[in-house]
Amino acid sequence: MPQYTHLHNHTSLSLFDGAQTPGALARRVNQLGMGAAAITDHGACYGWPSFQKACEEVGIKPILGIEAYLVEDFDSIRELRQKKLASCTDRERKLRKTRFHQVLLAKTQEGLTNIMKLASWAADEGFYHEPTIDFRRLRKRSEGVIATSSCVQGILPQLALAGDPFGRWSKRERVEKAHEITELYLDIFEDDFYLEAHRHGIEDEETMNNLVQYLSGKYDIPVITANDCHYAREEDYRAQKAKTCISTSKTGNPTCFGDPEAGKYAHENMHIKSAEEMVGLFEEFPEAATNTMKIAEACEARLPMGKDEQFFPEFPGLGAAETAHERLIRECKAGFRRRCPKSPKKYQKRLRHELEVIGKMGFSDYFLIVADMVQFAKRVGIRVGPGRGSAAGSLVAYVLGITELDPVRHGLLFERFLNPARTTMPDIDIDFDDARREEIFRYIRQKYGEGRVARVITFDRYGLRSSVRNLGRIFGLEPTTRDEIAGHISALDEEPDTVAEATEKSGPLGRMRQEDERFAKVCDLVPKIKGLARHASQHPAAVVITPEEISSHVPTERRGTERNGGETVTQFDGDQLEDIGLLKMDVLGLKTLREIDVAMDIADGLGQKVSEEALKARNDPEVYADVFAAGDTQGIFQFASDGMQEALAEMEPSAFEHIVAMNALYRPGPMKLIPQFIARMRGEEETVYLAESVHDAVKSEVADILDETYGIMIFQEDVMQVARRLAGFSLSEADLLRQAISKKKTDLLTNQRENFVAGCREEGYSRELGETIFGLIEDFAGYALNKAHSASYSALAYKQAYLKCHHPTAFYAAALQVEDDLGERTGLICGAKRDGIEVRRPSINESKQRFSSPEAGSIRFGLSTIKNVGEEAEAFIGERERNGPFGSFLGCLTRCVPNARAVKALVKAGAFDEFGLSRAAMHSQAGEVLSYVRKHQDSCPASHWKDCSENSSGNQSGTPQAGNSQVENCQDRPEPPAVEDRPEWPPIKRFRAEREVAGTYTTGQPIDAFPGLVEIYDGEIWRREHPQHGASDYKARCGAILSVSEATTRKGDPMWWIEYITTDGITEEPLFEWRYDAIKNNLETDVAALIVSKADTGGEYAGMYSVENVVPMKDLKDENAAGYASPLHSPA
């Protein structure tokens, strides 16, 4: 049986044309009985750690390499590229864009480093359309590297094929050049240069193979064969074709998968062939297979995976002979005196324990680095979050000022954060004000050096819906059909893993697969491309710091624009960086922190000083009563959803631990426990520990652990402490149990079950009881939340709730200023009005750029919040501040000369209403006024326009006033056009115009014209008995429809989504076919209407309200008339 190693292979991290994951490559090679394989992705080392890990899992040898892009002399090519294209010769134009393929394999550790440095240089200084190297750089980094002549795109094959830029050379010139390049390769790589032969049925390859045979004989160069594998199996060719078609096709091309031009970058026979197939293909190269085995045997380079070695940077600035751990102890002692001055001895004991574990695990530098980063942020006034994830369970993190909550007081466990029995890195994620995060990154680069810091790459991969959408496009499915398919997938109760599962669960998708051949083809290919990498980008939060030059540990690239110089980014993503033992940190941005800062600034401007101590106290009864217990948490981080507000109103929390519990409970898994928790909290139900069946046996042991949660295991920390108390586990062992349950791995669970039951027996419990308790723990731990995370984010929510309770104007103004989502913004405006705060239209004389509060109880729209205004807002505000308020519409336009789109948008939003003209008049005449101003602005200096256009009488025509010496130079210009008033737009046009440019209404809602009817009808709820269907619950709201979107149910029946606005914000409800025909004529947008909805008790929309009736409010009976309830109690 022949032996063979594939040395030229691409994965989907060859982003354009690779159609197999690194794991699929390793598994297929193993299935074919081969003991090694190489990864040689185009131009980058993106998949190295994943490939090595996959190879080790299946027991084969990984060979790490790259198919680089090569030019002969980069510096001369760079000079050509700087030369104007028009002055280049034909050959020079070809040289500018020509690059060749170059396979490089890491033979030794030095070779591995050399390839990483080559890849890094190519993707930074050498980048021109593609990352590029040259022979000079190859010579410098050749030690420990094996090179081959590559595929038909290699420089030697291109000489034989007369490819660019050699097409105009004579055969003799090309032969001489081929000898020159071959000798150059041999001079650089000596015995580590191989000639490479291919055979895929491509004519050019036979010319290349003849050259390979000739050069091998002349120079005694060994030959290898390769299949340039881009996919695992022969049938996967269609996946490669699909992937390249997606990348190259235009959106409007309906037949692109069948278009030869679109699919020209995909090739058949480029799969992983067996050793027998490869040997049989190349009878003229009998030693080639043996040579592949020699290379495989010689290549010993490996990435150091994280379990073997950690590469942490040293914290800079340590004292002479001071270790990082000594500095950490010193900093902790100082912090302990500040934050725990009168704490009991258990605090000191815990601090000593944590420091001992941190020191033994080698994480002292890490804690110092994070603490220093947080201290910098606080020094320069960047708001930092109270904590995130499990890090709040560390007392060391607390005394260093990294986190805000006392972990001992709140029952948070260190072992949940840092378990000495786990080999994984601790994860201290920090939230910062999202608008100032770049300052943190800049500080890290300055502190540790540009060459040791990089941002982190991330890869977008095809998911189920993106696979369907993109494949649908290249198979000619219409955009509406693709949207419909994605909608059916989204409508399923749970996100399906496969397209087969989706078509089984969704009737319309199943029928479409049977009836539409195009969709059937899409379904066949989805499993082939789902999970493949699509493109790379920069992770918004992750950063890595290395102890030495970063390219010694990980290849990098430059991302960004030439204007900003870009940023150095790793070629390994975050998971891969951790696999190779590097320190990756997430500098996370959270707009909630910005909202708090903005709110405090606004409150300060209103003369309302807010203290940080009040925000951190978490003990104000008014905050709990008026915000949380009232269910008035709109705009509050983690507590804003309608369902959460209802749950809070039912719960009536009165203490911090209550909202921590609700934050953990209000999620899909544990939500079912909320009624039980509330009943026990109110004393309506007796507290039962774990379950009735074990209550009596375990109560005495777990009562102190679970009293706070009324006997229910809500948090992961509860699970860990119960395991410690009942089975005698250490907290480290209990954390491993929690982790095994969350991963749901059968072998791990079986082992943990046995250990737990054995532990229970040693503690005096029966085997049966141990089994029962483990079952309960397994159920709870599957959805339990980390208490440290829940408590930290609840502390953040409390700060917002405090502001909302005591400084509502500042709270809402800040939330509106920071919020970009128009739907959320509309809800906040409604909430502010409901709380008695006036939200005023934008004003050209009063508005700032964004939402602001001119006085307590009042918020004003900002100019830049209006569509199409953009930078013009700054111009308006700057002119107003320099030369005083605008006196007229004409005066404003003449002084600022804005673009017409901005003016018309501001007119629609009401920003010029103070000038006494109708919006209709200003909108229709703005263009004429601006044309006049632009034509004559040179004849009248800008500083004079104020006097020329705004006189004391408020003359809208802008006639200059006699006797004003400042305007004498402007007397000769023609009379400006008079802005003549005209009838105002009807209300419906005004409301639609406001929504068009502001995303919401700026001067009230349509229902404001019917206050009496709103008082009668809005918020009515009732139950109605149906003879056949039983009782149904109804509700009525006064509002206005914003949109009507056609859709289909899972069964394929027509339905519509009705989005409407009320005084509470925006609501979206389904409208079914059986009611549509009866009320379709009443579904006009932006018209005051009464919307009646019925609670659905069954089907796919069970638990939701569906629209039952819509009645324009102008058609409702007068509020004094009897029988006004008829639209409520009987459908139209």
pLDDT at 773 over 70: yes
For the segment 981-997, the average pLDDT, to the nearest whole number, is: 96
Which pLDDT score, from 0 to 100, does residue 168 have?
A: 78
Confidence of residue 566 (pLDDT cuts 50, 70, 90): confident
Each residue's pLDDT tens digit, 638-654:
999 999 999 999 999 99
pLDDT at 938 over 50: yes
- How many other C-beta atoms can be found within 10 angstroms of the C-beta atom of residue 843? 20
For the segment 530-549, the average pLDDT, to the nearest whole number, is: 95
Confidence of residue 365 (pLDDT cuts 50, 70, 90): very high
Query: What six digits make up the tokens of 97?
Result: 């864009």
Q: Are 461 and 573 in contact (CB under 8 A)?
A: no
Lowest mean pLDDT among 131-140, 350-359, 948-957: 948-957
Closest to 1128 measured CA to CA, from 1028, 1009, 1032, 1008: 1032
Confidence of residue 944 (pLDDT cuts 50, 70, 90): low
Which pLDDT score, from 0 to 100, does residue 258 have?
A: 73
Q: Which residue has the higher pLDDT, 870 or 622?
A: 622
Which residues fall within 8 angstroms of residue 1053, CB to CB, at 6 or more apart? 1072, 1073
Query: What six digits make up the tokens of 774?
Result: 């483990």
Q: What does pLDDT average to over the chain?
A: 90
Question: What phi, psi does 67 have (nearest 5°)?
Answer: -105, 95
Percent of the chain with pLDDT over 70: 94
As a whole number of angstroms, the distance between CA 622 and CA 801 comes to 10
Top-ranked range on mean pLDDT: pick from 75-84, 489-498, 1123-1132: 489-498
Top-ranked range on mean pLDDT: pick from 109-118, 414-423, 1108-1117: 109-118
The length of the chain in residues reads: 1132
Q: Which CATH fold would you assign to the domain 1005-1129? A: OB fold (Dihydrolipoamide Acetyltransferase, E2P) (2.40.50)
Distance between terminal CA atoms of the chain?
A: 81
Which pLDDT score, from 0 to 100, does residue 1124 have?
A: 38
Which pLDDT score, from 0 to 100, does residue 968 have?
A: 46
Confidence of residue 190 (pLDDT cuts 50, 70, 90): very high
Q: Are 37 and 227 in contact (CB under 8 A)?
A: no
Each residue's pLDDT tens digit, 571-603:
999 999 999 999 999 999 999 999 999 999 999
SS3 (DSSP) at 60? coil
pTM: 0.89
pLDDT at 942 over 80: no
Q: Are 422 and 736 in contact (CB under 8 A)?
A: yes
Confidence of residue 772 (pLDDT cuts 50, 70, 90): very high
SS3 (DSSP) at 568? strand
Sole residue written with tokens 């005196």: 337
Each residue's pLDDT tens digit, 407-429:
999 999 999 999 988 777 788 99
Which residues fall within 8 angstroms of residue 272, CB to CB, at 6 or more apart? 6, 9, 25, 28, 29, 32, 227, 229, 231, 232, 233
Confidence of residue 940 (pLDDT cuts 50, 70, 90): low
Each residue's pLDDT tens digit, 717-757:
999 999 999 999 999 999 999 888 887 777 888 899 999 99
Distances from the Cα of 333 to the Cα of 328, 351, 364, 415, angstroms? 9, 9, 14, 21
In words, the CATH class of domain 324-459+538-591 is alpha beta
Sign of the CA dihedral 744, 748, 750, 754?
negative
Which pLDDT score, from 0 to 100, does residue 965 have?
A: 42
pLDDT at 124 over 80: yes
Residue 94, judged by CB atoms within 10 A of its CB (0-12, 13-18, 19+), counts as middle
Which pLDDT score, from 0 to 100, does residue 250 have?
A: 60
- How many other C-beta atoms can be found within 10 angstroms of the C-beta atom of residue 395? 27
Confidence of residue 966 (pLDDT cuts 50, 70, 90): very low
Q: Are 374 and 361 in contact (CB under 8 A)?
A: no
Which pLDDT score, from 0 to 100, does residue 971 have?
A: 57
Percent of the chain with pLDDT over 90: 76
CATH placement of domain 22-233+271-298: 3.20.20.140
For the segment 242-257, the average pLDDT, to the nearest whole number, is: 73
Label residue 974 left, alpha or beta by phi (over 0 means left) and psi (-120 to 50 means alpha).
Answer: beta
Each residue's pLDDT tens digit, 828-860:
999 999 999 999 999 999 999 999 999 999 999
Calculate the CA 187 to chain-centre distance: 49
Which pLDDT score, from 0 to 100, does residue 308 have?
A: 60
Question: What phi, psi does 629 have (nearest 5°)?
Answer: -65, -25
Q: What string of DSSP letters covers 292-311?
A: HHHHHHH-------TTT--B
Sign of the CA dihedral 532, 538, 540, 545?
positive
pLDDT at 1097 over 90: no
As a whole number of angstroms, the distance between CA 72 and CA 590 comes to 48
Which residues fall within 8 angstroms of residue 318, CB to CB, at 6 or more apart? 324, 327
For the segment 1054-1079, the average pLDDT, to the nearest whole number, is: 93
Sole residue written with tokens 């679109």: 262
Query: What six digits make up the tokens of 518?
Result: 């195009």
165 upstream amide cis, omega within 30 of 0: yes
Domain boundaries, the chain: 22-233+271-298, 324-459+538-591, 597-630+641-798, 819-962+974-993, 1005-1129
For the segment 593-621, the average pLDDT, to the nearest whole number, is: 97
For the segment 1095-1100, the average pLDDT, to the nearest whole number, is: 79
Q: Are 373 and 443 in contact (CB under 8 A)?
A: yes
pLDDT at 1038 over 80: yes
As a whole number of angstroms, the distance between CA 1106 and CA 631 comes to 24
Each residue's pLDDT tens digit, 785-805:
999 999 999 999 999 999 999
Each residue's pLDDT tens digit, 848-900:
999 999 999 999 999 999 999 999 999 999 999 999 999 999 999 989 989 99
pLDDT at 1 over 90: no
Lowest mean pLDDT among 147-156, 192-201, 1049-1058: 1049-1058
Strands 453-461 and 567-573: parallel
Residue 39, judged by CB atoms within 10 A of its CB (0-12, 13-18, 19+), counts as buried
For the segment 64-89, the average pLDDT, to the nearest whole number, is: 84
Q: Where are the beta strands (DSSP E) in 898-973?
A: none
Which pLDDT score, from 0 to 100, does residue 306 have?
A: 62
Estimate the crossing angle of helix 171-189 against helix 203-219, to 10 degrees: 60
As a whole number of angstroms, the distance between CA 40 and CA 228 comes to 9
